[in-house]
Amino acid sequence: MIETRSLRTLTRRQLLSRGVAAGAGLVVGSGFVAGSDAAWAAEMDAMKPETFATLVQMARDIYPHDKVGDRFYAAAVKGYDAPQEVEFAQAGTDMLDDAARQAGFDGYRGAGWEADRVAILRGIEDSDFFQRVRGGLVTGLYNQKEVWPIFGYEGESYSFGGYIDRGFDDITWI
Amino acid sequence: MAAPFEMTDDNVVVIIGTGAGGGVLANELAQKGVSVVALEAGGRYLPQDYVNDEWESFGQLAWTDTRTTSGDWRVAKDFSNLPAWIVKAVGGTTTHWAGASIRFQPHEWKARTTYGEVEGANLLDWPIDAEEMAPYYDRAEDKLGVTRTNGIPGLPGSNNFKVFEAGAKKLGYKEVHTGRMAINSEERDGRMACQQTGFCFQGCKWGAKWSAAYTDIPAGEATGNLEVREKAHVARILHDESGKVTGVEYFDTDGNLQMQRARVVCVAGNSFESPRLLLNSASSMFPDGLANSSGMVGRNYMRHLTGSVYGIFEKPVHMYRGTTMAGIVQDEARHDPSRGFVGGYELETLSLGLPFMAAFLDPGAWGREFTTALDAYENMAGMWIVGEDMPQESNRVTLSDVEDDFGLKVANVHYSDHPNDKAMREHAYRQGAAMYDAVGATRTLPTPPYPSTHNLGTNRMSERPEDGVVNRNGRAHDVPNLYISDGSQFTTGAAENPTLTIVALAIRQAEHIAGEMNRGSL
Ligand SMILES: Cc1cc2nc3c(=O)[nH]c(=O)nc-3n(C[C@H](O)[C@H](O)[C@H](O)COP(=O)(O)OP(=O)(O)OC[C@H]3O[C@@H](n4cnc5c(N)ncnc54)[C@H](O)[C@@H]3O)c2cc1C
Ligand code: SF4
């Protein structure tokens, strides 16, 4: 289980004084990546914040859900910010940035439109890097209890007595 | 409560695995006064231990020891080390199962005769038939408390069922109802009624669903004749010079090798582990594996053709609320070759929670085509296809080069669809989608088969010793005191979920074994 709560919040002032905008809703600062609304920040243990920002963007482009905020994607890839994973993540995002430059962009995050980034990802989708990141997201993103309500999934029900009195047969439109 | 038997006690029946087959057999024998030692690789988990969380429950109960795969089935690509979704725990896969409990149709016992020669298929008639099985089905339905039998009312229809039912009726289907389910619709046998919790696959926390873990196994233990040793992983079955089995070697909970003597050995480890064990028990007398003079051990692996259809609607369905599988359409289960295939299929309601839906909807897929489907999760309805797949000699379990933590060769599972399987699946996808379209679906999604939940056929029953591994009683053709007691003895798979039949066969086998022991011929 990934804990979205492991991310912390910054004040707007801290954010503006310490960070620079890094494309779509992300801000990269020294030792952290944050949402540009300052609602969340991920502090780096081992990884360069630029690398992490690229991973977050990539995660969103792989499984884009417009109602799911960046903090959930950040939580889903935070596991790569560990000594034994950094090298893998760095090499992978370097490859991704190279692919983007070959397509004429200033790195992956420099490709401003989703369609352009998706085209870049299609070009590397058979790589181990892409497949591992994608595979990890299946649980890393969708197994966060905090995202379930966004999809209308209610999760655990035993402690509420099941759905017998809570709408297992409440459909009216059929 | 448990009766401790000595390792050297050679009067006991040893049962390997405590699921639908082994768990029921253990209790049935214990009730008849037979001494039984049941060895179970997994630990013991009861309703208070089950968790309403798909991945956490999977980690708690599922068999995740390595297996390898080959063949052109998609599972080999997407889940290469997880060919099956089955359980390693006391009670086996009856902790996970959804409870759908339907009998074979009479003609399905005679697939070779009914369907004729099918190229590339290794069809065979069962050596037993519907009439002979009827009384055992009666007893199995009573034991499991199957709804719509024995005067037990059906379960109420959930939201997912209501969508399914309305679509089925629009298509003109007649046999549509909330299923014959081993789930209490009212209190029975000291177990309460279903509370529509919706986590049937994760172990029923109310005990409303039948599972050997909290019914047959404790009932057997209460007789004093059954000892269940958990976390006991059987490595090998031993035999003497006359070719009779004498006991088994197993790794105990501390990883130490133990030897339990036995008068009779019954193998019930599900359709990968049972043949693996026979193959790993090869000796100079049985060089191709125990009981394998036919060469059929591990062959004819069947898994039901399966597949799912999800429909997305304008308004919410909340399919995850309530029983996971209480809904069935049986109109397509008949044998009607005019549809372009032999055999038939059932359509059953199914729901997955969001985490499993993300993993299984279209494994490997990404991008908006995939994510827009999940965005509509709340408005989804789902169904599962269960159809008869063809036995093929080349679909088989063999020993892999990979070894498990005990240094035992693991099972490799090879499977490729037969053309009949593909034709049937296509038909079922179209009918399933048409059901949802008929009630206003805005999008329908065919979903590929998940890692196999129904695993059958790898030690099949046959009249003649050269065609299969066991005879009409599940007794090995080659070894008089060795039995197969799980789904691996299935000669053919039929269109129905297998567990009721596994249980009926176990009840019948217990009668046979106890009778043979009384007659002094075992
Ligand atoms: C999610 C899910 C839903 C299902 N729903 C239905 C349904 O609705 N209806 C239906 O009919 N069927 C259903 N099934 C299938 C059903 O659970 C199986 O058909 C049935 O449990 C198989 O019985 P079995 O005795 O062959 O094996 P299992 O029940 O799997 O038992 C085998 C046991 O043997 C143990 N074992 C294996 N090897 C060894 C060894 N070497 N030493 C010691 N122990 C060993 C295993 O740990 C396991 O506990 C479902 C299955 C799943 C996974
Ligand atoms: S829906 Fe019913 S049978 Fe399924 S887990 Fe809940 S209470 Fe048990």
Taking the CA of residue B199 as reference, the ligand 2 atom at the shortest distance is: 5
Q: Report the C-alpha gap between B339 and B431 in whole angstroms.
A: 12
Q: Could you please report the per-residue DSSP string of A102-167?
A: HTTSSSTTT--SHHHHHHHHHHHTTSHHHHHHHHHHHHHTTT-GGGHHHHT-----GGGTTTTTTT
pLDDT score of A5 more than 60: no
Q: Could you please report the per-residue DSSP string of B88-128?
A: -BTTGGGTT---B--PPPGGGGGHHHHH---TT------SS
Q: Is A78 exposed, middle or buried (0-12, 13-18, 19+ CB in 10 A)?
A: buried
Q: Report the C-alpha gap between B260 and B256 in whole angstroms.
A: 13
Q: Do B371 and A163 touch (CB under 8 A)?
A: no
**Ligand minimally distant from the alpha carbon of residue B24:** 1
Percentage of residues of chain A with pLDDT beyond 90: 76
Q: Output the average pLDDT for chain A.
A: 90
Opening angle at CA A60, ends A57 and A65, nearest 5: 150
- Enter the tokens of residue B137: 């089905």
B55 interface with A at CB cutoff 8 Å: yes
Q: For ligand 1, is residue B327 a contact (CB within 6 Å)?
A: no
The DSSP symbol for B283 reads -
B161 dihedral zone (left: phi>0; alpha: psi -120 to 50; beta): alpha
Contacts of A36 (CB under 8 A, 6+ apart): A15, A21, A25, A26, A27
Q: For ligand 1, is residue B273 a contact (CB within 6 Å)?
A: yes
Q: Measured on CA atoms in the order A88, A89, A91, A95, is the torsion positive or negative?
A: positive
pLDDT value, residue A11? 67
Shortest CA gap B448–chain A (Å):
17
3-state helix vs strand vs coil in chain B, percent to 5: 30, 20, 50
One pLDDT digit (tens) per residue for chain B, 522 residues: 445 899 999 999 999 999 999 999 999 999 999 999 999 999 999 999 999 999 999 999 999 999 999 999 989 988 988 999 999 999 999 999 999 999 999 999 999 999 999 999 999 999 999 999 999 999 999 999 999 999 999 999 999 999 999 999 999 999 999 999 999 999 999 999 999 999 999 999 999 999 999 999 999 999 999 999 999 999 999 999 999 999 999 999 999 999 999 999 999 999 999 999 999 999 999 999 999 999 999 999 999 999 999 999 999 999 999 999 999 999 999 999 999 999 999 999 999 999 999 999 999 999 999 999 999 999 999 999 999 999 999 999 999 999 999 999 999 999 999 999 999 999 999 999 999 999 999 999 999 999 999 999 999 999 999 999 999 999 999 999 999 999 999 999 999 999 999 999 999 999 999 999 999 999
pLDDT value, residue A36? 83
Shortest CA gap B81–chain A (Å):
14
Residue of chain A whose Cα is closest to the Cα of B203: A158
Q: How many CB pairs under 8 A join A and B?
A: 112
The DSSP symbol for B171 reads T
Are B142 and B119 within 8 A, CB to CB? no
- CA-proximal residue: ligand 2, atom 6 (nearest): B197
Reduced to 3 states (helix: H, G, I; strand: E, B; else coil), residue B8 is coil
pLDDT value, residue A64? 98
Q: Do A158 and B159 touch (CB under 8 A)?
A: no
Mutate which of B375, B437, B442 to disrupt the A interface (most A C-beta within 10 Å)? B375
User: Which residues of chain A lie closer than 8 angstroms to B162, CB-CB?
Assistant: 169, 171, 174
Q: Report the C-alpha gap between B181 and B511 in whole angstroms.
A: 25
Residue ranges of chain A whose CB lies within 8 Å of a chain B CB: 1, 62-65, 67, 118, 125, 134, 138-139, 141-143, 148, 151-158, 161-164, 166-171, 173-174
Backbone angles phi, psi at A19, to 5 degrees: -125, 165
Q: For ligand 2, is residue B323 a contact (CB within 6 Å)?
A: yes
Packing angle of the helix pair B20-31, B499-518 (nearest 10 deg): 40
Q: For ligand 1, is residue B225 a contact (CB within 6 Å)?
A: no
B315 interface with A at CB cutoff 8 Å: yes
Q: For ligand 2, is residue B206 a contact (CB within 6 Å)?
A: yes
Shortest CA gap B163–chain A (Å):
6
- CA-proximal residue: ligand 1, atom 22 (nearest): B20
pLDDT band at A12, cuts 50/70/90? Answer: low
pLDDT score of A56 more than 50: yes
Query: Nearest 10 degrees: CA dihedral of B472, B473, B478, B480?
Result: -150
pLDDT value, residue B1? 45
Mutate which of B81, B197, B199, B351 to disrupt the A interface (most A C-beta within 10 Å)? B197
**Ligand minimally distant from the alpha carbon of residue B200:** 2
Taking the CA of residue B323 as reference, the ligand 2 atom at the shortest distance is: 1
Taking the CA of residue B195 as reference, the ligand 2 atom at the shortest distance is: 7
Query: Nearest 10 degrees: CA dihedral of B199, B204, B210, B216?
Result: 140
Higher pLDDT, A8 or B256: B256
Opening angle at CA B154, ends B151 and B158, nearest 5: 170
Are B509 and B483 within 8 A, CB to CB? yes
Mutate which of B53, B54, B195 to disrupt the A interface (most A C-beta within 10 Å)? B195
pLDDT band at A15, cuts 50/70/90? Answer: low
Shortest CA gap B82–chain A (Å):
15
pLDDT band at A2, cuts 50/70/90? Answer: very low
User: Which residues of chain A lie closer than 8 angstroms to B374, CB-CB?
Assistant: 65, 142, 151
Integer-rounded Cα Rg, in Å, for chain A is 18
Q: Do A169 and B354 touch (CB under 8 A)?
A: no
Q: For ligand 1, is residue B42 a contact (CB within 6 Å)?
A: yes
What ipTM was predicted for this assembly?
0.92
pLDDT band at A24, cuts 50/70/90? Answer: low
Walk me through the domains of chain B, giving residue ranges and CATH numbers.
Answer: 13-519 (3.50.50.60)
**Ligand minimally distant from the alpha carbon of residue B15:** 1
Q: How far is the CA of B94 from the centre of ligand 1 (A)?
A: 6
Q: How far is the CA of B209 from the centre of ligand 2 (A)?
A: 6
- CA-proximal residue: ligand 2, atom 3 (nearest): B209
Are A5 and A35 within 8 A, CB to CB? no
